Amino acid sequence: MTFCSEKDVDERLRGVVIAPANPDDSISELTHQIQLTRPTIVFATSDTSHKLPPNVRIILIDSQEFSSLLTQHNNLDSIGSDVVVNQSDIAAIVYSSGTTGRNKGVLLSHGNLIARIAAFRANDPFETGVKVQRVSLIRRPLFGSYRLLYMMKAASMGETLVLSETSDSEALFKAVQNYKLNYCVVPPSFIVSVVKSELTKYDLSSLKFVMSGGAPLGTEVIENFKEKFPNVEILDAYGLTEAGPVAAMRFPDEINKLGSVGRLVEVVEAKIVDLLTGELLSPGQRGELWVRGPSTMKGNTFVITMKIFLQVPPAELEHLLLSNTAIADAAVVPYPDEEAGQIPMAFVVRKPGTTITDAQIMDYIAKQA
């Protein structure tokens, strides 16, 4: 079952494998994801359904049909009550850019999700033994690995969870003041916008921790944030959809070690190996980081296909560029950006005899969304 919606569905069905999709993805990328997971049903809205391929069954959650379904079946919890679910069974498929090619569907079992929630609970930044009513915020829609897991973690800890629909710094300030937030999860670009904001009229005294992840957070940004909000700690994290999603985090007792991602979280083991030989390296040597643990994915849809990572992978942009008949070749690489951490930069080779301009290329890509 796939969700491609800017709205969320407040229902739970036992035994269903969910594959939430980003409603802001391009038509090409959503088609690719549908081909990977082959869902029986896709829940969408009037604003997102036009992006989906015509050969899938679509239910519009903003339609009268869906409202009637909920009214007629007021006890959806009974559906699937006889389904036996094991920890090794697939619970969700979430998408990741991986390291090469287009998006992969990461297979997460029920056991993976349980381990990830246990890791969240074990690495709670609030002081042990102190009773705190946790009130946190994440952005909707809930399509990514971290957002999906955080919602489950909040339920497991009796946490109040505020869902935000905007990435506006003033909206965050209002939420902190109105709901007395003490924890929020935001991307580095959002922290940059908060640092630059000149708003001072909101009461932010309840906020204690801000979790940042998804891209590197510059040391200068952290220092400026601490100067502006001395009573709020930034918990910088490193992870990946395939194993975590948080593998390491800078905890409150390491808060001054800027530039570090801290130490491994509970349930995760890691080692650094030689990129070519796979041999274990000594401290101080540069190599490839390998992580493992019960939270590591069961597999991905690429492997399944052979048998029968709000982010756009470079390969997806290259695919879109090469679909233009005036472009012979294209390569997309990361380029440093103060707000986003990194943005894509494309090198394009025109086909002989064509005169396509950079403005025309950018307009072409924009129309693919």
Any idea where the domains of the chain sit in the sequence? 109-295, 314-366
Question: Any idea how long the chain is?
Answer: 369
pLDDT exceeds 50 at position 305: no
CATH of domain 109-295: 3.40.50.12780
Task: Please name the fold of domain 314-366.
Answer: GMP Synthetase; Chain A, domain 3 (3.30.300)
Residue 6 phi, psi (nearest 5): -80, -5
In this predicted model, which residue has the larger pLDDT, 303 or 258? 258
Q: What is the mean pLDDT of residues 341-365?
A: 88
pLDDT exceeds 60 at position 307: no
In this predicted model, which residue has the larger pLDDT, 130 or 227? 227
By CB atoms closer than 10 A (0-12, 13-18, 19+), residue 1 is: middle
Residues paired with 345 in a beta bridge = 333
Residue 307 phi, psi (nearest 5): -75, -35
pLDDT exceeds 70 at position 80: no
Tokens representing 264? 């491994």
pLDDT exceeds 60 at position 308: no
Q: Averaging pLDDT over each range in 57-61, 66-70, 83-87, which range is the top one?
A: 57-61
In this predicted model, which residue has the larger pLDDT, 68 or 310? 68
Tokens representing 116? 């990830």
pLDDT at 313: 67
User: Interhelix angle for 219-228 vs 188-196, to 10°?
Assistant: 50
pLDDT exceeds 60 at position 24: yes
pLDDT exceeds 70 at position 303: no
Q: What is the mean pLDDT of residues 217-224?
A: 84
pLDDT at 285: 92
Tokens representing 271? 């080692």
Task: Read off the pLDDT band of 83 (50, 70, 90).
Answer: confident
pLDDT exceeds 90 at position 180: yes
pLDDT exceeds 80 at position 29: yes
pLDDT exceeds 80 at position 15: no
pLDDT at 77: 61
pLDDT at 340: 56
Alpha-carbon gap, residue 209 to 273, rounded angstroms: 33
pLDDT at 177: 93
Alpha-carbon gap, residue 245 to 138, rounded angstroms: 15
Alpha-carbon gap, residue 350 to 8, rounded angstroms: 43
- Counting residues of the chain whose pLDDT is more than 90, the rounded percentage is 11
pTM value?
0.72
pLDDT exceeds 90 at position 178: yes
Q: What is the mean pLDDT of residues 252-263?
A: 78
Check residue 103 and report its DSSP letter: -
Which of 22-31, 180-189, 360-369 has the least mean pLDDT?
360-369
